[in-house]
Amino acid sequence: MITSIPDKCVDLQPAKSLVRRHYACLADATSQNVAERLAMHLDADCHWYGMHPFHEQTGPADIAAAFWSPFLSAFSRVQRREDIFFAGLNEIDGFQGQWVCSMGHLMGLFDAPFLGIPATRKIAMLRYAEFNRVEDGKITGTALFVDLIHLMIQAGLSPLRAPQTAAHLVQPGPLTHDGLLFGPQDPRASRMTLARINEMIGSIDRANALARPPSPQEELAQDWHDDMIWWGPAGIGATYTIDRYIEQHQRPFRTGLAGRAFNGHLCRMAEGTYGGFFGWPNLTLTNSAGFMGVAPSEVRADMRVVDIYRRAGDKLAENWIFIDMLHFLKMQGVDILAEIGR
């Protein structure tokens, strides 16, 4: 597998423009016409990856029926509050495919129940990260990750069996306020970002292979600034600095879960100082010692994960994470959605 973005000149602007037109079409869509709006820019056979309970869908009509129509029936006056937008060539297919990533919140008035989550008639912020594959002027593939547990907490629910170890926040965009890469970026910066992400991905295996593995602080310091910010999903939460990241996420994760199998990614890319990836699933693990309040078991469970990064200088500074927690927990016999209202 090639691990450096090739020197060939590829214009990513048409792909970005297509996705921005797509979002403009969705801006005033309704539950009744959203399938038609999706069909304006999605290929008829667009393959859509949606977190539990939406699952995989094909084509605008099924995508609308699974997610967009129910969402727009529950939320009114929806705004896309976008914090990060970038495009890139997909490392996973040898830098052939063009993908566009968008991340932020879908904000609206939560006026009717959604998936059994009670309406609040107040502002609600649905965290999202979306990857769109663009081919021949159409969107041919989409992965949409939304943080439903985060929404449940806003609605006053306590859906988990244990307090999360880090902070619950409506998460902001980048510290530098430069995450909307609507224009072309320096290819050299893109290569540096992807290289650092790849170094970080391999750091765990490299550390484990050493006769004297580094401490967690030493391992993380190779790829991260000391004042790193890890914007984790609801159920884990957000944490700040290497030491607090270890305390509030890495240590509970590594001590609670075992048998980590890395399954790979479907897309991994970078542009400028931003980059990210998603997998389906990224990881398979065993809850061997108890995690998120769920009792230990021998069940192998999948984590579908999005990671989006900001690089500052030669290291990573911020990381936004989405995990399909509902799917991960349901595989262990814990159905969070089914438990609402019991």
* pLDDT number for residue 204: 78
Residue 217 makes CB contacts below 8 A (sequence gap 6+) with: 242, 243, 246
Establish if 32 belongs to a structural domain: yes
Q: Are residues 32 and 148 located together in one domain of the fold?
A: yes
Contact 271, 286 (CB under 8 A): no
Q: Are residues 206 and 320 located together in one domain of the fold?
A: yes
Give Cα separations from 64 to 25, 32, 100, 110, 138 (angstroms).
14, 9, 20, 19, 17
Establish if 322 belongs to a structural domain: yes
Q: Are residues 81 and 218 located together in one domain of the fold?
A: no
Q: Are residues 63 and 148 located together in one domain of the fold?
A: yes
Strands 55-58 and 42-50: antiparallel
Q: Where are the beta strands (DSSP E) in 191-273?
A: 224-231, 238-240, 257-262, 267-271
Q: Provide the residue range defining the domain that includes 271.
A: 187-339
Contact 257, 291 (CB under 8 A): yes
Q: Rounded to an integer, what distance in angstroms lies between the CA atom of residue 224 and that of residue 311?
A: 9
Establish if 4 belongs to a structural domain: no
Q: Give pLDDT < 50 ranges for the chain.
A: 1-2
Establish if 57 belongs to a structural domain: yes
Q: Are residues 92 and 200 located together in one domain of the fold?
A: no
- Domain end, chosen from 154, 174, 195, is at 154
Establish if 314 belongs to a structural domain: yes
Q: Are residues 27 and 148 located together in one domain of the fold?
A: yes
- Domain end, chosen from 138, 154, 170, is at 154
Establish if 227 belongs to a structural domain: yes
Q: Are residues 41 and 132 located together in one domain of the fold?
A: yes
Establish if 176 belongs to a structural domain: no
Q: Are residues 204 and 132 located together in one domain of the fold?
A: no
Q: Rounded to an integer, what distance in angstroms lies between the CA atom of residue 196 and that of residue 313?
A: 10
Q: Are residues 119 and 43 located together in one domain of the fold?
A: yes
Q: Are residues 108 and 208 located together in one domain of the fold?
A: no
- Domain end, chosen from 131, 154, 177, is at 154
pLDDT per position as a tens digit, 73-96: 999 999 999 999 999 999 999 999
Q: Are residues 29 and 147 located together in one domain of the fold?
A: yes
**Which pair of structure tokens corresponds to residue 147?**
């943080």
The one-character DSSP state at 127 is E
pLDDT per position as a tens digit, 304-323: 999 999 999 999 999 999 99
Phi-psi region of 91 (alpha: psi -120 to 50; beta: other; left: phi over 0): alpha
Contact 166, 150 (CB under 8 A): no
Look up the pTM and report it: 0.96
**CATH number reported for the structural domain that contains residue 301 in this entry:** 3.10.450.50
Give Cα separations from 259 to 190, 256, 301, 320 (angstroms).
33, 11, 10, 24
Contact 155, 120 (CB under 8 A): yes
Sign of CA dihedral 195, 267, 205, 246: positive
Q: Rounded to an integer, what distance in angstroms lies between the CA atom of residue 289 and that of residue 100?
A: 38
* pLDDT number for residue 1: 43
Number of structural domains (the chain) is 2
Q: Are residues 191 and 327 located together in one domain of the fold?
A: yes
Establish if 167 belongs to a structural domain: no
